[in-house]
Amino acid sequence: MKVIVCGAGQVGFNIARYLSNEDNDVTVIDQRQDLIRKMSDTLEVQCVLGHASHPPILEQAGAADADMVIAVTAADEVNMVACQVAHSLFNVPTTIARVRSQSYLQPIWANLFSPDHLPIDVIISPEIEVARSIIRRLQVPGAIEVIPLAGDKVRLIGVRCTEDTPLVNTPLRQLTVLFPDLNIVVVGIVRDGRAIVPSAEDQMLAGDEVLFVVDTQHIRRAMTAFGHEEPEARSVVIFGGGNIGQFLAQQIATLPNGCGVKVIEADRSRAEQVAKNLPDSLVLNGDVLDSALLEEANVGAAETVVAVTNDDETNVLSALLAKRHGAKRVMALVNKTDYAPLMSTLGIDVVISPRAITVSNILHHVRRGRIHSVHSIHEGFGELIEADAMETSPLVGKPLKEIKLPTGVLLGAVVRNDKVISPRGTTVVQSGDRVVLFAATDAVKKVEKMFSVRLEFF
């Protein structure tokens, strides 16, 4: 597959890395020499220096025979025009654009991206996706990651273990003994910053981040097993009234549990606009690093504080300050990957990575055939894949204990006729089943070979 990636920033770099690792023909366009040099030195991709929406540059990148253009430059307008040019002049079959400004995405202008106007096949809005990701975490107290799968019949849940977690020092094979009717499969453990695919003999230790796939109906019981019985948040304070903060506040207001929301925004004119858009929320104008303002906002009584300003350092420091003031749970939006390993040791409960969310969202649209969704897990650790099992797949028709799964691959759940089946050795996958599996990065191609229809990755 030939793919042109417009933009060599963090998202563009990771998209190019994923696609090139799977032997796709990838060309990256960017007008910054330093980013192009880094891309060329690090990845096996072709690079073109220039403006991504200019026809000669797209032509130089090979748009005439490209299968897809993914536009993720820093400018919405460049992304949209690049897709328009790719479609109109070069007949590129599929175009994907990242669009951040919510003014383009309001329902009243929905016709903008129709085939007769701006023919873009997929619009990715990181702000909306990040806000939805935060909402999912708010609805599962104690979770550091929540990803819905198979029409939300199954979810991937991430939790952090402590000395008080009931399941620490318990071999994973004991989970089925302790909870025989609980549909749960641990697919990953992050320990001391290193991600591992666990075996049945591995144990969860204090300090581990554990990723497990669970029947959505069993989430509350699963969280209880991990020592989390907190109620859903009834009071949330949002630091930052930008696109993410505002959309998040609007979404929280629609939740059935009657959650109260306060927003703190540093820019006065922006704070006034947010207050007009959120008539049922309290909006304060001021610095989120001002202790006096946090006391005025009664941050200490908040069950959850979410720091989503446009500055990583401000988000980290303000979240820690909120924790010191008494906030029960703090979340911080962090773009820089170098900070991630530090967060749990500092005391930040949940780290939100816009880049990881955007990459997963784009991969979801890039994958074809029988793939329904793909989620990048823990910075290149692996991928959570949801796909249909076909009759010709060697995974079908035999007990799982007789099938040798590639190293680094774990089957998390099987969904059949709306029923969730937690895979055991005697489980037999049938044609048409929806399968949720985890594959470590170096095992993704092996997963492809597990299915005679190749799961049609590319």
**Same structural domain for residues 108 and 98?**
yes
**Same structural domain for residues 251 and 345?**
yes
**Same structural domain for residues 415 and 309?**
no
Phi, psi angle pair for 233, to nearest 5°: -60, 135
In a domain, 434, yes or no: yes
**Same structural domain for residues 378 and 307?**
no
Distance CA 227, CA 334 (A): 27
Distance CA 34, CA 334 (A): 23
In a domain, 167, yes or no: no
**Beta pairing, strands 46-49 & 25-30:** parallel
Domain with residue 395: its CATH number is 3.30.70.1450
Dig out the tokens for 191 from the structure: 């320990």
> How confident is the model at residue 454, as a pLDDT?
44
* Nearest CA-CA partner of 70 in 142, 127, 130, 15: 15
Asked which of 356, 374, 408 is the last residue of a domain, the reply is 356
| 3-state SS, residue 177 | helix
> How confident is the model at residue 450, as a pLDDT?
66
**Same structural domain for residues 349 and 405?**
no
Domain with residue 89: its CATH number is 3.40.50.720
At which residue do the structure tokens 């079908």 appear?
A: 396
Dig out the tokens for 325 from the structure: 């003031």
Distance CA 208, CA 251 (A): 31
- Sites in the chain below the pLDDT cut of 50: 452-458
CA distances from 428 to 387, 431, 449 (A): 16, 10, 19
> How confident is the model at residue 367, as a pLDDT?
62
Amino acid identity, residue 96?
I
**Same structural domain for residues 22 and 120?**
yes
Distance CA 15, CA 70 (A): 9
CA distances from 124 to 130, 301, 393, 409 (A): 11, 35, 32, 29
**Same structural domain for residues 331 and 440?**
no
Dig out the tokens for 375 from the structure: 């989620």
**Same structural domain for residues 419 and 352?**
no
SS3 content of the chain, % helix, strand, coil (to 5): 35, 25, 35
Asked which of 78, 108, 124 is the last residue of a domain, the reply is 124
> How confident is the model at residue 451, as a pLDDT?
52
Asked which of 70, 95, 124 is the last residue of a domain, the reply is 124
Name the domain count of the chain: 3
> How confident is the model at residue 368, as a pLDDT?
55
**Same structural domain for residues 308 and 377?**
no
**Same structural domain for residues 81 and 16?**
yes
In a domain, 181, yes or no: no
Distance CA 265, CA 271 (A): 5
In a domain, 129, yes or no: no
CA distances from 180 to 212, 230, 295 (A): 16, 24, 47
> How confident is the model at residue 456, as a pLDDT?
43
Domain that holds residue 424: 357-456
Phi, psi angle pair for 35, to nearest 5°: -70, -40
Asked whether the beta carbons of 265 and 248 are under 8 A apart, the reply is no
**Same structural domain for residues 410 and 343?**
no
| 3-state SS, residue 364 | helix
